[in-house]
């Protein structure tokens, strides 16, 4: 193998933050190279520098031994460096083929787009690398795993030889993760080089040929999976031990906090999106919802939060029927809500962090005194969240957009748990956070459960579901198909139930 990317002494500063300094690493041609590190360690910044989105303040990047200075991602692409974006970069109402050729349309001399030639080229790429994509399918009809394959096909189509993936597995279910890694292996067997960021140490150890660890903006170690283990990687990342697990021994009470009884809900086209759903979350209980993405999880949350109206059945919180209440009224009755998509539903990216403390909490103490919003209370409580959840930020006055993804998530978790709500709806609460922050959030949830909070946990992370849930409800095609005891269920059994098999 030869070195394909050589990063030497890269530095990048933002106001009040050193995002990257003294970053050094070598990436060998044809390998799968994982980058790991705590939230805010500088991983995404480094990737953005490599694919031309951000220019470093100093330092050098060599590709095949030659110094490069990219002014844009197009420049990077010309030298074969491509970024595989997550699903939201594709145009929904266009076909796979249209999306793939967007920006590099092959035209004949008359300027007519040559779809046939493009189709053949795409199918050749798909065939060569074992990527299952269907050129004429509308992107809106694709699942997340397939959208990701289209993103990969798109950069390959443009001629990428080095693929960068930032947390590609965060949004995938276990089966899709497996398929993605098979695809990536296939790509490397054809000589391509893969760089990926992940917080999941198990998959990093299983998949990568080498691992670079970043901490506080710099590269601290470069290791090979065969010479290391999870505990050692975690230590390298956080520079110390992980937090210890909280107490989970107590049993939940039998007092119901959230009850859904025979809830059904139709889409505008009369398709049933929730079908006769009954479930109860008790005081001091964590009820986990497991399911393959897109089986009614979002709709379940949206009905509870009053965002979509139900067609039949009842929903009560502490014995009060909430089905006619607005979302605001439901929150005000003591419901915390950690949404799945933090950037879209959880934050105002261009507002300072302390203003984001107010979002969704305008009418509850300490933010509201009954009449108006108390800004200084919002600031004081933001400082508390930053401290308690170890949110890495220069201050509470920076915009939410300036925080790294995992740190945005920690802030939302802190906000939604403030004031000890009766019920917490936690959708993917640790998506994109590092292992240290994950144990911190897990412990917060366990503590809250211990003090009597009822928690509805929706997660695609099976470890998370098994570690935290008192009971596991499995949702498939809008129905609760099984309620399992995590103590006596294996991950394989849960996987089968999720895909709709009887167990």
Binding site for ligand ATP (CB under 6 A): 14, 17, 19, 37, 39-45, 392, 402-407, 434
Binding partner selected for residue 42 from ligand ATP, Mg ion, none, CB under the kind-specific 5 to 8 Å limit:
ligand ATP
Closest distance of CB 499 from ligand ATP, Å: 30
- Residue 493's SS3 state is helix
The pattern of x and - marking residues 349 through 388 that bind Mg ion according to CB under 5 A reads ----------------------------------------
Judged by CB under 5 A, the stretch of 36-44, 287-295, 306-314, 492-500 that binds Mg ion is 36-44
Give 497's contacts (C-beta < 8 A, 6+ positions apart): 290, 474, 476, 481, 482, 484, 503
Binding partner selected for residue 115 from ligand ATP, Mg ion, none, CB under the kind-specific 5 to 8 Å limit:
none
Whichever of 197 and 260 has its CB closer to ligand ATP, that residue is 197
Closest distance of CB 182 from ligand ATP, Å: 25
Sign of the dihedral defined by the CA atoms of residues 218, 221, 226, 230, in that order: negative
Q: Closest-CB residue for ligand ATP?
A: 406
Any contact of residue 44 with Mg ion (CB under 5 A)?
yes
Q: Which residues 404-433 are close enough to bind Mg ion by CB under 5 A?
A: 405
Q: Closest-CB residue for Mg ion?
A: 44
- HEC per residue, 339-403: CCCHHHHHCCCCCEHHHHHHCCCCCCCCCECCCCECHHHHHHHHHHHHHHCCCCCCCCCCEHHHC
Binding partner selected for residue 296 from Mg ion, ligand ATP, none, CB under the kind-specific 5 to 8 Å limit:
none
For the chain, what is the radius of gyration of the CA atoms?
24
CB 483 within 8 A of CB 493: no
Whichever of 46 and 153 has its CB closer to Mg ion, that residue is 46
Whichever of 306 and 405 has its CB closer to ligand ATP, that residue is 405
Closest distance of CB 214 from ligand ATP, Å: 6
Any contact of residue 20 with Mg ion (CB under 5 A)?
no
Whichever of 367 and 435 has its CB closer to ligand ATP, that residue is 435
Binding partner selected for residue 95 from Mg ion, ligand ATP, none, CB under the kind-specific 5 to 8 Å limit:
none
Whichever of 252 and 432 has its CB closer to ligand ATP, that residue is 432
Q: What share of the chain is helix, strand, coil (3-state, %, to 5)?
A: 35, 25, 40
Two tokens at 98? 């249209």
Closest distance of CB 72 from Mg ion, Å: 20
Two tokens at 70? 């990219």
Q: Is the peptide bond before 444 cis (omega within 30 degrees of 0)?
A: no
Any contact of residue 169 with Mg ion (CB under 5 A)?
no
CB 472 within 8 A of CB 462: no
Closest distance of CB 41 from Mg ion, Å: 8
CB 199 within 8 A of CB 433: yes
Whichever of 44 and 219 has its CB closer to Mg ion, that residue is 44
Binding partner selected for residue 45 from ligand ATP, Mg ion, none, CB under the kind-specific 5 to 8 Å limit:
ligand ATP
Residues in contact with Mg ion, counted by CB under 5 A, come to a total of 2
Whichever of 14 and 115 has its CB closer to ligand ATP, that residue is 14
The rounded Cα 385 to chain-centroid distance in angstroms is 21
Count, in order, helices (H) and strands (E) of the chain.
16, 20
Whichever of 43 and 342 has its CB closer to ligand ATP, that residue is 43
- Match 């909430």 to its residue by tokens: 322
Burial of 369 (0-12, 13-18, 19+ CB in 10 A): exposed
Closest distance of CB 425 from ligand ATP, Å: 23
CB 452 within 8 A of CB 284: yes
Whichever of 41 and 263 has its CB closer to ligand ATP, that residue is 41
Main-chain dihedrals φ then ψ at residue 346, nearest 5 degrees: -110, -15
Closest distance of CB 14 from ligand ATP, Å: 3
Whichever of 288 and 405 has its CB closer to Mg ion, that residue is 405
Two tokens at 272? 């049933």
Residues found near Mg ion in the complex (CB under 5 A):
44, 405
């Amino acid at each position: 193998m030869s070195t394909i990317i050589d990063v030497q002494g890269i530095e990048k500063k933002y106001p009040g933050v050193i995002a990257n300094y003294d970053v050094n690493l070598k990436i060998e041609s044809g390998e799968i190279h994982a980058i790991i590190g705590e939230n805010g360690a500088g991983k995404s910044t480094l990737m953005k520098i490599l694919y031309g989105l951000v220019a470093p303040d100093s330092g050098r990047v060599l590709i095949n031994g030659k110094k490069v200075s990219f002014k844009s991602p197009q420049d990077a692409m010309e030298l074969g460096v491509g970024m595989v974006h997550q699903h939201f970069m594709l145009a929904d109402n266009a076909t796979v083929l249209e999306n793939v050729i967007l920006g590099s349309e092959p035209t004949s001399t008359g300027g007519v787009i040559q779809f046939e030639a493009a189709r053949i080229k795409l199918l050749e790429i798909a065939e060569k690398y074992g990527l299952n994509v269907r050129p004429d399918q509308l992107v809106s009809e694709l699942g997340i795993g397939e959208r990701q394959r289209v993103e990969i096909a798109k950069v390959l189509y443009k001629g990428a030889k080095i693929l960068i993936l930032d947390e590609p597995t965060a949004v995938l279910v276990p089966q899709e993760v497996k398929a993605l890694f098979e695809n990536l292996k296939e790509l490397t067997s054809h000589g391509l080089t893969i760089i990926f960021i992940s917080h999941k140490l198990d998959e990093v150890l299983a998949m990568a040929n080498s691992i670079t660890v970043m901490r506080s903006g710099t590269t601290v170690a470069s290791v090979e999976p065969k010479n290391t283990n999870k505990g050692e990687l975690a230590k390298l990342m956080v520079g110390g031990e992980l937090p210890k697990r909280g107490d989970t021994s107590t049993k939940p009470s039998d007092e119901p906090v959230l009850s859904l009884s025979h809830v059904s809900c139709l889409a505008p086209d009369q398709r049933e999106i929730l079908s006769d759903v009954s479930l109860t979350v008790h005081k001091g209980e964590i009820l986990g919802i497991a399911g393959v993405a897109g089986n009614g999880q979002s709709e379940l949350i949206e009905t509870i939060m009053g965002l979509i109206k139900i067609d039949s059945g009842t929903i009560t919180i502490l014995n009060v029927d909430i089905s006619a209440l607005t979302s605001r009224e439901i929150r005000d009755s003591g419901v915390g809500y950690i949404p799945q998509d933090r950037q879209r539903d959880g934050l105002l990216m261009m507002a300072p962090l302390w203003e984001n403390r107010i979002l969704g909490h305008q009418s509850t103490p300490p933010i509201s005194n009954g009449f108006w919003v108390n800004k200084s209370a919002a600031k004081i409580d933001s400082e508390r969240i930053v401290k308690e959840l170890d949110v890495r930020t220069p201050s509470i006055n920076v915009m939410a957009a300036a925080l790294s993804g995992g740190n945005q998530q920690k802030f939302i978790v802190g906000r939604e748990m403030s004031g000890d709500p009766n019920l917490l709806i936690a959708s993917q609460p640790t998506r994109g956070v590092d292992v240290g922050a994950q144990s911190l959030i897990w412990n917060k949830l366990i503590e809250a459960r211990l003090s009597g909070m009822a928690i509805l946990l929706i997660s695609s992370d099976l470890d998370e579901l098994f570690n935290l849930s008192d009971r596991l409800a499995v949702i498939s095609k809008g129905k609760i198909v099984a309620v399992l005891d995590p103590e006596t269920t294996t991950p394989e059994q849960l996987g089968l139930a999720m895909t709709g098999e009887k167990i």
